């Protein structure tokens, strides 16, 4: 049974849709940031909305604060707008940030990128494509490498995370 949202929720969603569209028109993407709860081992995460309209998967990152997230995703967005097409296994580096990132396919995007699917009017089962942006630790190791120093729940492996 599908529930119809109440009028206040409908009005809020209409305003959110307008804000999203305006931000994408001005900047190419918007970033959907979801705060985590470390006491419950829920990592913060964020993803772009707008790259799908440029024929590129949306980008998803876990475990970063809002400022770092914005700098990272906006840098990557600018690279895509400049003609870069990221694919699983690619590695990117950044001026002023001592980490490398790699890109991994997300097998369950419909369970995570609700705002992107809403914007593109895609049902979750036919979700927009998403690449997880996975960063290395201070020693240059990625989460699947031995000795990785960050707790596994902070950067979950693709396919193991579902938004609540």
pLDDT in tens, 49-104: 999 999 999 999 999 999 999 999 999 999 999 999 999 999 999 998 999 999 99
Q: So what's the pLDDT on residue 28?
A: 86
Q: So what's the pLDDT on residue 3?
A: 65
Indicate whether 152 belongs to any domain: no
Share of the chain above pLDDT 90, in %: 75
Q: So what's the pLDDT on residue 6?
A: 83
Q: So what's the pLDDT on residue 89?
A: 98
Claim: this prediction has a pTM higher than 0.75: yes
Residues 99 and 144: their CA atoms lie apart, in Å, by 16
Residues 16 and 55: their CA atoms lie apart, in Å, by 23
Indicate whether 159 belongs to any domain: no
Indicate whether 91 belongs to any domain: yes
Indicate whether 106 belongs to any domain: yes
Indicate whether 2 belongs to any domain: no
Q: So what's the pLDDT on residue 9?
A: 73
Domain count along the chain: 1
Indicate whether 141 belongs to any domain: no
Residue 107 has pLDDT above 60, yes or no: yes
Indicate whether 122 belongs to any domain: yes
Among residues 129, 156, 144, which one has the least CA distance to residue 61?
156
Indicate whether 46 belongs to any domain: yes
Length in residues, the chain: 164
Residues 121 and 115: their CA atoms lie apart, in Å, by 10
The domain containing residue 83 runs over which residues? 7-135
**What are the pLDDT digits (tens) for 25-50?**
898 899 999 999 988 989 999 999 99
What is the average pLDDT score of the chain? 92
In angstroms, the Cα distances linking 99 to 18, 134, 136, 137 are 35, 10, 6, 7
């Amino acid at each position: 049974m599908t529930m119809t949202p109440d009028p206040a929720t409908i009005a809020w969603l209409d305003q959110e849709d307008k804000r999203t569209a305006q931000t994408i028109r001005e900047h190419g993407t918007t970033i959907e940031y979801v705060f985590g709860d470390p006491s419950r081992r829920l990592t913060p995460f964020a993803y772009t909305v707008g790259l799908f309209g440029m024929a590129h998967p949306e980008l998803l990152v876990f475990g970063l604060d809002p400022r770092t997230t914005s700098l990272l995703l906006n840098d990557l967005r600018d690279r895509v707008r400049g003609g870069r097409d990221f694919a699983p296994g690619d590695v990117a580096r950044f001026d002023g940030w001592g980490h490398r990132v790699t890109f991994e396919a997300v097998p369950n995007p419909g369970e995570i990128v609700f705002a992107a699917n809403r914007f593109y009017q895609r049902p979750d089962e036919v979700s927009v494509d998403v690449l997880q942006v996975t960063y290395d630790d201070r020693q240059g190791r990625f989460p699947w490498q031995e000795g990785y120093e960050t707790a596994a729940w902070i950067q979950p492996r693709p396919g193991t995370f579902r938004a609540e």
